[in-house]
Structure 1
């Protein structure tokens, strides 16, 4: 079995792009990801994640964008797993390489979300939740995650201020990211006093709806040596669960994330994520999702996430920086592009090209995507070139 390496990764700016289409956004990401010496004729396969918000080109969305960038005849599969779509697309690319079926694979994602009305956008977001008993009953995703937040704050007697600390941290990181949708800082007090969207979540506890695309090239070991930059995919894990929040046994954890992380850690040889990881990009569609991720990924024990957020341990200069890109909260959340966008940040950090967000010589990082409120999750562990085992 061949190891899999990311040899190039890039993204478009995330935000509102009224003059762009899903094809032009994907081209921007593809060109940003492509290494200088890439031969498109050597790409064996492609996987593209997208929900298809607004109904545009739901069928054959993958071939529509790969043909547009010139990958003529390359088999392309569209992957749809809600917000984890391109995280799963990356997993499929890794599996294709590790199985020996391909030597060079494109994994990416794209979404256009800002050209639909608020009501239409709520509909398209809602289909990633349980349709019959959640969406059609009027529940929004803000409402679902507000239930999780309320349950968490009550169960662990945690202050809402921890949610605001997550928001302030991610905005501080996003302000250092030129590709971020919300590239400005906010204070903890700003987040605390903002309008309530779904109690206890305020506006600053919620990610924006964004347009954007991201892409990564995954290569086998024999092919990767011909490229200047290489980041090894040390471990991958994925899991599914009941789609509806009401169907699950807990509101204060996402079991699919825990299972996906355990599988990825086992493959990557991560014994303790608190010491074996240098950074992580986690799914923070709402601030509570980041707190749950700390615990689901084993960064801290159950009920300890609020303290971790409040004491600065996950800040850019903390013991384990989380969401150095700004996360979904500030970098943005174009659903189909989010997981691949996390891989872009990991690639940039591990190859020393993260600009003002650059950490000091990171060796190992993680990306974690969640579909809906926890119906699917995928985790990747990445290692810099030269790390033991890489």
Structure 2
């Protein structure tokens, strides 16, 4: 087994609406940027991992999507693995690339995630999200949501994915159990909208006040549109290697991978947060990296809604259980605060192109650790954490990935 794993290069397209750009073109842009960053020719990869969720549903490319897209770039003759893990697809692809290095199966790997969500048919796009739940047992899903959040007034909610109902029910449970307020959820959202103004790759770059967030169109109580991630297209890529592989590249500022942990949910009482998937996985990641929450300088967490960021801040140990809302409201998760979360703008402002999201988080953290994040730079960033969740099964995310990086 190799002693260390490094990120040698990263690349990312702007996240947003790319109606006239194909999946292949998005992949090319992200990988070429990552190659330039790592200083490597295209033929220098021992394996590749391709992450995507909806191309098969939207375009019919239900198999060999990675082989088709990567051959266009001259990436051929090597193992290519296709990964789908709902919203955690990108981070899962990264984890597989890391483990190929750890196992000694490769010296240099590339992981790329891509998504083309805006296809001109909103109803079809929203239908894609249903597959992130157990489609064979919709009654159980509704029972779980009712147990979490009770009945909610849906008048005026309008079009939304099933996951907005899921996050809304989880938020109402947190409000009932711990006193979380809509104002605190809006504070997390407003913070991320402010962060995104300085991110040239973000889907939205418009600052919003807490009052503006609260006044947004209602989706599912207590969520408003500005509290939720948009439908986004984009791609991101990361080149991973061991020390020997690093010698084949011309990387100027490699970043160490200290931990990469993947896990799935378990059957637990809905109010047993100590057994929550992120709580369990982050404990493993901290142990693997030999650090704790207080050692983390900056984090990108899965804020498909602003409530999710608040919950994950607690599950990751940045705040005590029930205190994540106050953490956000006090400004401690803002750039310049005690633990900056989502300096990129997060999923709700940077965007959430499912298969690319997890690697987009890695991109941001590498930029932060290299000190080249510009106006959104976290001073003195030396250790970074990414949390990326996907799907919903029996009360929590079906899968999650926690990554810790350092310099």
CA contact (8 A) 2:118 2:233 kept: yes
1:55 aligns with 2:58: yes
Cross-structure match for 2:68: 64
CA distance in 2, matches of 1:74, 1:51: 22
CA offset digits 1:159-183 (Å, max 9, x no partner): 1111101110111111110000011
SS in 2 for 1:35: helix
1:88 alignment partner, one of 89, 92, 98 = 92
Cross-structure match for 1:377: 400
CA contact (8 A) 1:47 1:79 kept: yes
Cross-structure match for 2:78: 74
Cross-structure match for 1:45: 47
CA offset digits 1:41-62 (Å, max 9, x no partner): 2200011111025432121111
2:172 alignment partner, one of 150, 153, 156 = 150
CA contact (8 A) 1:84 1:338 kept: yes
1:168 alignment partner, one of 157, 182, 190 = 190
State how many pairs are aligned. Answer: 378
CA offset digits 1:265-289 (Å, max 9, x no partner): 111001x30x200000000001111
CA contact (8 A) 1:148 1:252 kept: no
CA contact (8 A) 2:35 2:42 kept: no
CA contact (8 A) 2:88 2:389 kept: yes
Task: Identify unmatched segments of 5+ residues in structure 1.
Answer: 385-390
CA distance in 2, matches of 1:252, 1:27: 44
CA distance in 1, matches of 2:139, 2:347: 22
CA offset digits 1:287-322 (Å, max 9, x no partner): 111111011111111101011010000001101100
1:255 alignment partner, one of 276, 291, 295 = 276
CA distance in 1, matches of 2:213, 2:286: 34
CA contact (8 A) 2:43 2:74 kept: no
What is the TM-score of this pair, normalised by structure 1? Answer: 0.93
Gap change, CA 1:136 and 1:22, over 3 Å in 2: farther
1:134 aligns with 2:138: yes
CA contact (8 A) 1:129 1:141 kept: no
Q: What is the CA-CA distance between 1:116 and the residue it aligns to?
A: 4.2
Paired residues for 1:14-53 under 5 Å:
14-35=15-36, 37-53=39-55
SS in 2 for 1:201: coil
1:216 aligns with 2:256: no
CA distance in 2, matches of 1:217, 1:328: 22
CA distance in 2, matches of 1:348, 1:135: 44
RMSD value, Cα: 1.7
Cross-structure match for 1:388: none
CA distance in 2, matches of 1:52, 1:61: 11
CA distance in 1, matches of 2:308, 2:8: 30
What is the TM-score of this pair, normalised by structure 2? Answer: 0.89
Paired residues for 1:320-335 under 5 Å:
320-335=339-354
1:193 alignment partner, one of 182, 194, 215 = 215
CA offset digits 1:200-252 (Å, max 9, x no partner): 1111111001000000000111222542120000011111015xxxx652268
CA offset digits 1:140-177 (Å, max 9, x no partner): 11111110011111111121111101110111111110
1:352 aligns with 2:371: yes
Cross-structure match for 1:125: 129
Gap change, CA 1:252 and 1:117, over 3 Å in 2: farther
CA contact (8 A) 2:238 2:363 kept: yes
CA distance in 2, matches of 1:137, 1:167: 27
Cross-structure match for 1:336: 355
1:109 aligns with 2:113: yes
CA distance in 1, matches of 2:243, 2:285: 19
Q: What is the CA-CA distance between 1:70 and the residue it aligns to?
A: 1.7
Deviates more, 1:344-353 or 1:326-335: 344-353
Cross-structure match for 2:157: none
Q: What is the CA-CA distance between 1:357 and the residue it aligns to?
A: 1.0
SS in 2 for 1:198: coil
Gap change, CA 1:135 and 1:112, over 3 Å in 2: farther
SS in 2 for 1:170: helix
